[in-house]
Structure 1
Amino acid sequence: MPITTTKLTRWAGLSAVAAGLLFIGVQINHPHLDAGFATTTEYTVRQTLKVLMSGLSLAGITGMYLRQVKQAGVLGLVGYLVFAAGYLIMTSVEVIGAVVLPTLARTDPGYVNDVFAMVLGEQVNGDIGLFPVLNIASALTFLGGGLLFGIALFRAKVLARWAAALLAIGSVATLAIPLLPQVNERLFALPTGVALVGLGYSLWSGLRTRAALPLSGTVGPAAAPEAVK
């Protein structure tokens, strides 16, 4: 089976859809993060899915950007680079959470509880090294990149504009988490997840429809050589 740009882009669309569904799915009935939970099988499964989600998201937004390089302009490039950096940092954090924290939870549960407290915006009592810096970098690039990339996609008018707007709005909405302590913060992940599904489907279906259409400007049978004067 030949590998073409169209096929790769359509696979990127499916990757975005899968990433959005995973992003929503891992939030459902998520237990409280602590050292005890980090030693369970459920934690390992959820972290593995988060790593997969991050990788699929990166593939998805790459396909979105390449589909509309010209239309997205400089804002699209900046938004993509910042958003991609956010997903790369997120991937590294989730990998650490999947392969390092479960072991530390058994030998140094206080450290793990402090790491989770940082993630949840709670008080950190011990020294967790440069984790706070990594957490801030992840938040800034993910939220800032989502906002810029969403605006660029909306202006490009290539993919579903409602999904692009939802991506931008969802990124900004997460800033309200500290102001709404009574609201489950995991609900703020839903707009981004839905936006990824919408944009991914738009990317996939748009190319699918385009491939099914007949070529424009099709002409009839070529004239015989002798008929040409």
Structure 2
Amino acid sequence: MHVSNVIRWLGMLAVIGGVFRLSMTPLELVWGVDSTIALIIGGVTGSVFIIIGTAGIYLYQAGKAGILGFIGFLITTVGNILVCTMVMISLFVNTALKDPQILEQELPGPVVPIRLIMIITLNLGYILFGIATLRAKMLPRWGGALMILLVLMTFIPYTDYLFAVVWGLFHIGLGWAVWSRSKGSENKVKLTQ
């Protein structure tokens, strides 16, 4: 298998993750904020595909994104892993509300510090990764701009429902660009001989 094919398929996983993340908004409009369905589909499933797919977005532009892109990618990945963790905690709380006896057992770890680290890593990672994407000029510039906008939205009131939409959109757009542009790549390197 060629490295370009791996990067291409990672781009498709970013698209799938973006679709799942974007779907969180309509799911929450139908079933309510933090509904189990929205958290499983948009939160956990979206996060898993985004975590894996972001590697394709980074690898596609790695040569031009430089160290800033690599650091942004790593920090963003940690942030997305923590998002997935927090969503799973929310699912646990939803379950506990339906079955309060679950809370009688010992609960692991502190949630507040995890949430704080999640916010810091996600925001810092997307700012750095967004800037690196803009500077690399290999993928649509609007995707890098939306990464930065996502961070700014945390400070803009009344943008809660648009947050998952923006998050999903830039993963869909950048992932699709990787998928479609990697198709006939000239630099095919074999992973196995």
- Using structure 2 for the length normalisation, give the TM-score: 0.82
Contact 1:86 1:142 in 2 (8 A): yes
Other-structure match for 1:164:
144
On the 8 A contact 1:22/1:53 being kept in 2, the answer is: yes
Q: 154, 174, 187: which one pairs with 2:162?
A: 187
Which of 92, 97, 104 in structure 2 is aligned with 1:105? 97
Question: 1:19 and 1:159 mapped to 2: Cα distance?
Answer: 18
Matching residue of 1:47: 39
Higher relative contact order (Cα pairs below 8 Å, separated by 6+ residues) = 2
The number of aligned residues is 177
Write the mapping of 1:4-83 to structure 2, written as runs, cut at 5 A. Answer: 4-30=2-28, 31-33=32-34, 43-49=35-41, 50-83=43-76
2:181 corresponds to which of 194, 198, 206: 206
What is the rounded CA distance, in whole Å, between the counterparts of 2:85 and 2:97 in structure 1? 18
User: What do the CA deviations read for 1:65-118 (whole angstroms, capped 9, x no partner)?
Assistant: 1222221111111111110010111111222333x2233213449x8xxxxxxx
Identity of aligned residues (%): 28
Letter in 2 for 1:190: V
Contact 1:83 1:145 in 2 (8 A): yes
Deviations 1:45-70 (CA, angstroms, capped at 9, x unpaired): 32221211111111111111122222
- Take 1:32 and 1:63, find their aligned partners in 2: how far apart are those partners? 31
Larger Rg belongs to = 1
- The root-mean-square deviation of aligned C-alpha atoms, in Å, is 2.2
The structure 1 residue matched to 2:83, chosen from 83, 90, 101, is 90
Q: Which has the higher helix share?
A: 2
Name the residue aligned to 2:190: none
Cα deviation, 1:121-140, whole Å, max 9, x if unaligned, reads: xxxxxxx9721211111111
Query: Which secondary structure does the structure 2 equivalent of 1:175 belong to?
Result: coil
Instruction: Supply the distance in 2 between the matched residues of 1:52 and 1:129 (Cα, whole angstroms).
Output: 23
On the 8 A contact 1:18/1:53 being kept in 2, the answer is: yes
Gaps of 5+ in 2: 187-193
Aligned residue for 2:189?
none
What's the counterpart of residue 196 of structure 1? 171
Q: CA deviation at 1:154?
A: 0.9
Which runs of 5 or more residues in structure 1 are unaligned?
34-42, 112-127, 212-229
Are 1:135 and 2:133 counterparts? Answer: no
